[in-house]
């Protein structure tokens, strides 16, 4: 898709959070009303006919567009969070990051087997965090799971898409 307005407004912050990382700062998309409308509209067009019943957003940048899209799709919204943040019973999945391990959690009553789920986050780098979220959501045995990101990093030897099984449909709005 690579909408020009989105590309123009996505801020690059060199050497954040550590030297050598080119941080793609989606806050400059989120603060711009025109970019917000473009992102929600493009995603709505991609998913309006898929029968999505739950959008699952990954903490925390996946909550913003995830929730807006859920409203437009007439779907519910579910938070996938860092450990200890969700108040009721949870199930969790751990994964290896560049430095050490991380865990994500979801409420154990968040998804039903009848649901068609769209998993959403702001950015695909290695794919490690979304892979863990995908594993977590699949434990609920939903009808189908789709995956979406706003930005996909394709430079610097990254191929985050490769971590997902071939039968999982992954979409991204910007490839950079
Ligand atoms: P990964 O699990 O490697 O795909 O990392 C994805 C998560 O880390 C997303 O939630 C992003 O918000 C964040 N992230 C990783 N690399 C970057 C980057 N270069 N710019 C912005 N966010 C990043």
Tens-place pLDDT, residues 115-160: 999 999 999 999 999 999 999 999 999 999 999 999 999 987 789 9
**Which residue's CA is the nearest one to ligand 1's atom 9?**
123
User: What phi-psi label fits residue 131: left (phi over 0), alpha (psi between -120 and 50 degrees) or beta?
Assistant: alpha
Q: Cα of 114 to ligand 1 centre, how many Å?
A: 30
Answer whether 152 contacts ligand 1 (Cβ < 6 A): no
* The model's pTM: 0.97
Which residues does residue 152 pair with via DSSP β-bridges, in sequence order?
124, 175
Answer whether 24 contacts ligand 1 (Cβ < 6 A): yes
Tens-place pLDDT, residues 54-73: 999 999 999 999 999 999 99
Residue 126 has what pLDDT?
92
CA distances to 16, 46, 66 from 76, rounded to whole Å, are 34, 17, 10
Q: What are 166's two structure tokens?
A: 């071939």
Q: Is the pLDDT of residue 97 over 90?
A: no
Answer whether 28 contacts ligand 1 (Cβ < 6 A): no
Dist CA 69 CA 43 (whole Å): 7
Q: Cα of 3 to ligand 1 centre, how many Å?
A: 20
Pick 100 or 53 by higher pLDDT: 53
Answer whether 121 contacts ligand 1 (Cβ < 6 A): yes
144 is catalytic: no
Pick 100 or 25 by higher pLDDT: 25
Q: Which of 42, 61, 81, 105 is catalytic?
A: 61
- Which of 123, 126, 152, 159 best tests ligand 1's pocket when mutated (most atoms within 8 Å of CB)? 123
Full 3-state SS string of the chain: CCCHHHHHHCEEEECCCCCCCEEEECHHHHCCHHHHHHHHHHHHHHHCCCCCCEEEEECCCHHHHHHHHHHHHCCEEEEEECCCCCCCCEEEEEEECCCCEEEEEEECCCCCCCCEEEEEEEEECCCHHHHHHHHHHHCCCCCEEEEEEEEECCCCCCCHHHHCCCCCCEEEEEEC
On average, the pLDDT of the chain sits at 96
11 is catalytic: no
pLDDT band at residue 165, thresholds of 50, 70 and 90? Answer: very high
């Amino acid at each position: 898709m690579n909408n020009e307005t989105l590309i123009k407004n996505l801020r690059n912050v060199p050497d954040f959070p550590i030297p050598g990382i080119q941080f793609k700062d989606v806050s400059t998309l989120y603060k711009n009303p025109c970019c917000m409308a473009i992102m929600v509209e493009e995603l709505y067009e991609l998913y309006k006919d898929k029968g999505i019943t739950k959008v699952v957003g990954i903490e925390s940048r996946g909550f913003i567009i995830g929730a807006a899209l859920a409203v437009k799709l007439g779907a519910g919204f579910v938070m996938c969070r860092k450990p200890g943040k969700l108040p009721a019973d949870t199930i969790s999945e751990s994964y290896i990051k560049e430095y050490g391990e991380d865990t994500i959690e979801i409420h154990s009553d968040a998804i039903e087997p009848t649901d068609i789920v769209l998993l959403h986050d702001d950015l695909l780098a290695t794919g490690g965090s979304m892979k863990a979220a995908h594993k977590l959501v699949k434990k609920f045995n939903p009808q189908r799971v789709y995956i979406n990101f706003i930005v996909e990093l394709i430079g610097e030897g990254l191929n985050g898409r490769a971590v997902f099984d071939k039968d999982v449909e992954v979409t991204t709005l910007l490839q950079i």
